[in-house]
Amino acid sequence: MKPNTPATLIVGSDSLIGRTLVEQLRHAGARIYGTTRRSESVDESNLYLDLAEDVSGVKYPEQIDAAVICAGVTKLEACRRDPSTTARINVQAVSAIANKLAEMGARVIYLSSNAVFDGTRPQRLPDDTLSPVTEYGRQKAEAERQLSALGEAVTIVRLTKVLEPRAGLLTRWAQTLGRGETIHPFEDMVMAPVPLDFACNVLRRLIASRLPGIVQVSGERDVTYAEVARHIARSVGAMSELVEPINSKEAGVPPESVPAHTTLDTTRLRVELGLEPPSVWTTIDYAIGL
């Protein structure tokens, strides 16, 4: 590969989505740089970048064609507990690096979330008025607002829940049910998940296609965690009685963190990029390794 081939920068190469994207793009032979805040992971293609520090002096590689911003504080609870520190990371620092990268001629792809909406209605449209009710959602909405000022240089990708294969809560449920033990999923919490591979496929297409504006990535409908648990019980041949649903409010989850709806309208994804999200049940099977 020629050294002056335009490169892609993944800001946050240790994140779930960032590290998967780096692997996939490198596998496809692309010239890739990452950023990390872990000093032991820094090398010539993985730059040190801590969004909690002053980012004004960060030296980026020349000739970055596209930058995908994955880094940030992604836990709702962390944002709720410390709004000012997390806003400095998720809004001010993200906006500063996006501006700098756009000034250098890079296209900026920013990863946002359905949390920019209040969850009272399904299938939110890209242009619906933002209505966040959590601190995390407010920070995502404010970052979107500030980055939108970059015009054609920015693509905002709103994602619902992204599930990785054979990891996390759903795999633990499958294992627990497989041992004949009970699980306690929320009956009033929903998700409209998409597979990690699909989300990365969308991002790879956006890196190549230069489509500006807002692109939404979502499962076609919401399913409750209890429905997901019963589906998993059937899949692993466990008795449905082992699924004992509980209520999130009784478990102490803040009500604003439990939206009634999380789906986003995906017309643009399907029509302009030709990408159809898998059905939510296909995504659940992928997540538990079926």
Ligand X SMILES: NC(=O)c1ccc[n+]([C@@H]2O[C@H](COP(=O)([O-])OP(=O)(O)OC[C@H]3O[C@@H](n4cnc5c(N)ncnc54)[C@H](OP(=O)(O)O)[C@@H]3O)[C@@H](O)[C@H]2O)c1
- 52 vs 260, beta carbon nearer ligand X: 52
Task: Tell the smallest beta-carbon distance from residue 79 to ligand X (Å).
Answer: 10
C-alpha span between 152 and 19 (Å, rounded): 26
C-alpha span between 215 and 238 (Å, rounded): 39
- 211 vs 236, beta carbon nearer ligand X: 211
Taking CB under 6 A as the criterion, the residue among 8, 15, 139, 262 binding ligand X is 15
**CB–CB of 57/107 below 8 Å?**
no
Task: Give the list of residues 6+ apart from residue 259 with CB closer than 8 angstroms, or none.
Answer: 114, 115, 117, 118, 119, 120, 133, 190
Q: Considering CB under 6 A, how many residues would be counted as binding ligand X? A: 23
Taking CB under 6 A as the criterion, the residue among 23, 52, 128, 267 binding ligand X is 52
Tell me if 38 contacts ligand X by CB under 6 A: yes
- 158 vs 242, beta carbon nearer ligand X: 158
Task: Tell the smallest beta-carbon distance from residue 240 to ligand X (Å).
Answer: 27
- 165 vs 178, beta carbon nearer ligand X: 165
Taking CB under 6 A as the criterion, the residue among 72, 119, 195, 219 binding ligand X is 72
Pattern 204-223, ligand X, x by CB under 6 A: --------------------
Of 69-77, 202-210, 254-262, 277-285, the segment contacting ligand X by CB under 6 A is 69-77
C-alpha span between 56 and 39 (Å, rounded): 19
Task: Tell the smallest beta-carbon distance from residue 190 to ligand X (Å).
Answer: 14
Report the site for ligand X in 82-121 (rule: CB under 6 A).
89, 111, 113
Tell me if 137 contacts ligand X by CB under 6 A: no
Position with the least CB separation from ligand X? 15
- 114 vs 242, beta carbon nearer ligand X: 114
Report the site for ligand X in 143-162 (rule: CB under 6 A).
159, 161-162
Q: Which residue ranges make up the site for ligand X (CB under 6 A)?
A: 12, 14-18, 37-38, 49-52, 70-74, 89, 111, 113, 159, 161-162
